[in-house]
Structures are given as C-alpha cells and as structure tokens.
C-alpha cells in the first residue's frame, strides 16, 4: 500500500459516499466528514446496503464487508480530519465553498497531508490557491458512481509538486482505481464532452423531439452506452447539472454548456432526479418508471 494510510472525505453526498466506499473497501482508514449528521447516517446506510449486495453477488466475503464498515470513522467535527494523509473534497461546485473548506483544513491537517478535489469543472489551480498548500494539492475526479466506476482523472495544478502527484497517483492505484492524467482545463476529459452532450439531450426533450426513454434507448442501443444521458442526469441530480453548467459556461462561454431552461424549471418543481423521486423519470425505491 502507498504511504497514505488514512483518507478523509469532506462531504458525503452521493459522490462523497461513493468515494468513501472505495477507500474503506480498499483497506484505508476512512474519515468521512459532513456538517450534517443525517447525511452521515445516510452514507453509512448506503455503504452497508452496497456492501451487502456485493456479498450477495460474490464480489466480497462477509468478512471483507465487515472490515470495510469497520474502516469508517464518521464525524461532524472538522478537527478529526487532522489524522488524514490525504483529504478529498466532495462538496458543492462553488469556488468560495471549497476555499472556505480547504482554508479550515489547512489549519487542522499536518503539513504532509495532501489535499485533493473531486471537482469536475473548476480549476484545480484556482481551488489550490485558497488551500494554503498549493504545492500539495491535486485534482482527483472520480466517476459516478465511484464505487462501481474505476476511472479517476488526475489533474495537477500549476504549482502541484511532482512528489504530490506521484503519491496521489500511487494512492489512487491502491484504491483499485485507474488514473489518467489530464491538464487543468475546464471539464478535464469527461465533462468536456459530457456536459454539452447531456445538455443536447435535455434540449431534445425541451423541443419535443423525443421522449426521455426513447432518447436514452437510442443512445444505449446505437452507441453502446450502458446508461442513457437522461438516466445519468437523474442519477447525478438536476441541481448538480445546473452547477456544472454554470461552472463550465462561466469559464468557456461555450453555448452548448449553458444550462437549458428546462433544468431550472425542473429544479423549481422539485424534480431533481433519483434523490427526490422524480426527474426525467419517476422512482419508487430502486425502481425506475417511465422507461
């Protein structure tokens, strides 16, 4: 295993909880921080449910699943992150929020702790500038759902040291993930293509070209994608798509990255996707309707 022994995850929404599962499953002591106890409780339940299914499918033994759960440390106290060798942020795509988080982490974490951001659109260099340790800062963008998808986009900022990138890369491989190196460009590799592509699918719905299920079916059958763009948007959350669009469009001014009006109307109506029970599809438990 790498020199990194304890990994901190700041923020335990859908993505943060997924990254935490990856870390704990790989044998790392995993400190999960959130300001809300209810979010931590949901993340723990999600973890136990996922690991139980992994046991049922023969992916893990019961002993491995139990060990993974035992690797978790859940906390609402940021000071508990001081024991971490690597801290990955999974909070909102907002530069001020991330600066505030990393500024506080810089005060509680020892000098050797590497900071990483799971941002999918914001500049690593700009986030690192508010961290107090921009030489020990790197982008680590996991794919959703992190506990199933192996790819991680590793993006050094302008001041990231080679040693930091090497340690983070080694830790990424120890997590069982597959890192690829990208420059600190808007959207990196995946979202450079994905944000405008998903927006195009939304605009097709908006224009009445086809129903969501038909668009998704065409993409899956014609292009071989495992999940259609509108299914993926429901999984990610329409509120998250709005943040991604605002970040990408604010940086690039590329018209295809601008948020379609339908997204804002859906958010106003509370149709956020799976998390609210309704998005482009409706949901009851794990069942999806409208397909």
> What CATH number does the domain containing 88 carry?
3.40.50.720
Whether the bond between 145 and the residue before it is cis, its omega within 30 degrees of 0, is: yes
155 domain-assigned: yes
Owning domain of residue 231: 190-289
The tens digit of pLDDT for each residue in 251-284 reads 889 999 999 999 999 999 999 999 899 999 999 8
**Quick one: 210 and 285 in the same domain?**
yes
Any catalytic annotation for residue 153?
yes
Q: What is the dihedral of CA 46, 52, 58, 59, to 10 degrees?
A: 30
Q: Name the active-site residue from 153, 155, 199, 231.
A: 153
**Quick one: 118 and 174 in the same domain?**
yes
Local structure of residue 209 (DSSP, 8 states): S
Any catalytic annotation for residue 185?
no
Any catalytic annotation for residue 141?
yes
pLDDT of residue 230: 97
Q: Choose one of 181, 198, 221: the last residue of a domain.
A: 181
> Is a pLDDT exceeding 50 seen at residue 2?
no
The answer for residues whose C-beta is within 8 angstroms of residue 143's C-beta and 6 or more apart is: 149, 150, 151, 152, 190
Q: Name the active-site residue from 71, 118, 141, 271.
A: 141
Any catalytic annotation for residue 253?
no
Q: Choose one of 181, 216, 245: the last residue of a domain.
A: 181
pLDDT of residue 3: 84
Q: Name the active-site residue from 191, 198, 199, 271.
A: 191
**Quick one: 159 and 122 in the same domain?**
yes
> Is a pLDDT exceeding 50 seen at residue 38?
yes
Tokens 């097709």 sit at which residue?
A: 204
The tens digit of pLDDT for each residue in 218-239 reads 999 999 999 999 999 998 899 9
**Quick one: 160 and 75 in the same domain?**
yes
> Is a pLDDT exceeding 70 seen at residue 291?
no
| Total number of domains in the chain | 2
**Quick one: 30 and 79 in the same domain?**
yes
Q: Name the active-site residue from 118, 120, 131, 155.
A: 120
1 domain-assigned: no
Pairing of the two strands 29-33 and 72-75: parallel
CA–CA separation, 43 vs 47, rounded Å?
6
The tens digit of pLDDT for each residue in 110-135 reads 999 999 999 988 899 999 999 999 99
Task: Output the average pLDDT for the chain.
Answer: 94
């Amino acid at each position: 295993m790498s020199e990194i022994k304890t990994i901190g995850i700041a923020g335990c929404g859908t993505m943060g909880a997924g990254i935490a599962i990856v870390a704990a499953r790989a044998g790392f002591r995993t400190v999960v921080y959130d300001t809300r106890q209810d979010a931590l409780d949901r993340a723990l339940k999600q973890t136990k449910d996922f690991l139980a299914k992994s046991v049922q499918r023969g992916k893990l033994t019961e002993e491995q699943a139990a060990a993974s759960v035992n690797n978790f440390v859940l906390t609402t106290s940021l000071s508990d992150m001081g024991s971490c060798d690597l801290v990955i942020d999974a909070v909102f795509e907002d530069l001020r929020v991330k600066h505030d988080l990393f500024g506080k982490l810089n005060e509680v974490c020892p000098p050797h702790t590497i900071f990483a951001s799971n941002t999918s659109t914001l500049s690593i260099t700009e986030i690192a500038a508010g961290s107090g340790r921009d030489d020990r800062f790197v982008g680590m963008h996991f794919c959703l759902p992190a506990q199933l998808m192996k790819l991680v986009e590793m993006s050094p900022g302008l001041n990231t040291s080679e040693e930091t990138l090497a340690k983070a890369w080694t830790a990424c491989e120890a997590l069982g993930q597959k890192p690829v190196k990208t420059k600190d460009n808007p959207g990196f590799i995946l979202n450079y293509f994905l944000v405008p592509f998903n927006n195009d699918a939304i605009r097709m719905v908006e224009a009445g070209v086809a129903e969501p299920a038909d668009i998704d079916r065409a993409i899956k059958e014609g292009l071989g994608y495992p999940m259609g763009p509108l299914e993926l948007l429901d999984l990610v959350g329409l509120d998250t798509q709005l943040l991604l669009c605002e970040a990408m469009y604010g940086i690039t001014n590329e018209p295809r990255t601008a948020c379609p009006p339908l997204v804002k109307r859906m958010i106003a109506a509370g149709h956020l996707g799976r998390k609210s029970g309704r998005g482009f599809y409706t949901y009851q438990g794990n069942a999806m309707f409208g397909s």
